[in-house]
Amino acid sequence: MLEIREATEVELALVWRIMLEAFEEYRGVLEPPSGAITETLEDVRSSAAKGGAILAFLEGEPVASARYERREGYLYCWRLSVLSSARGRGIATAMLEHVHRRAETLGYPEVRLSTREVMQSNLRMYERLGYVVLSRQPHPAGESIVLELAKSIG
């Protein structure tokens, strides 16, 4: 059984650990490296204070996390992190659907997120969920391309 829920303040360390483990596979692969692998627990706390964080549990075991921030006119979802052992089970999709419902509850008309253009499987999933590319920009710290995507809610 999959359970997705808002993380409590005490569980932000778990949100952080899941993110670090999930993003570790990209160390030495993405150029420039993902900022996720250098984030601290304090970074996670600061981000969650601007919106929130969610956790996913599969059969009671924590397997995924994400954060969202309230921004001007939209909810921004980021650091969607699914442990490699739990991928391919629809968990990321279910987590994004949770974020969509959260945006609707908070009165936001859209959810935005970003991904690197080279991460084609992520891009395909986002497009399948109704996200459209808003912009295509060079990464501020290197040569890769970052896509910003949005999905209208409601």
* Residue burial 71-87, b: 16+ Cβ < 10 Å; e: rest: eeebbbbbbbbbbeebe
> What pLDDT is stored for residue 78 in this prediction?
95
- Its pTM stands at 0.93
CATH of the domain at 44: 3.40.630.30
Report d(CA 87, CA 59) in Å as an integer: 14
Report d(CA 152, CA 145) in Å as an integer: 23
Number of domains forming the structure of the chain:
1
Q: Considering only CA atoms, which of 46, 154, 34 is closest in space to residue 103? A: 154
Percent pLDDT > 70 in the chain is: 99
Residues 23-46 have a mean pLDDT of 86
Contact indicator for 141, 32 with CB cutoff of 8 Å: yes
> What pLDDT is stored for residue 141 in this prediction?
78
Q: Considering only CA atoms, which of 76, 66, 74, 72 is closest in space to residue 110? A: 74
Amino acid at 78: W
Query: For residue 129, what pLDDT band results from cuts at 50, 70 and 90?
Result: very high
Query: For residue 84, what pLDDT band results from cuts at 50, 70 and 90?
Result: very high
Amino acid at 53: A
Phi/psi at 74 (5° precision): -160, 165
Whether 111 has a pLDDT exceeding 90, the answer reads yes
Whether 8 has a pLDDT exceeding 90, the answer reads yes
Range of the domain at 145: 2-152
Percent pLDDT > 90 in the chain is: 81
Report d(CA 153, CA 97) in Å as an integer: 10
Report d(CA 87, CA 33) in Å as an integer: 22
Two structure tokens written together for 25: 């596979």
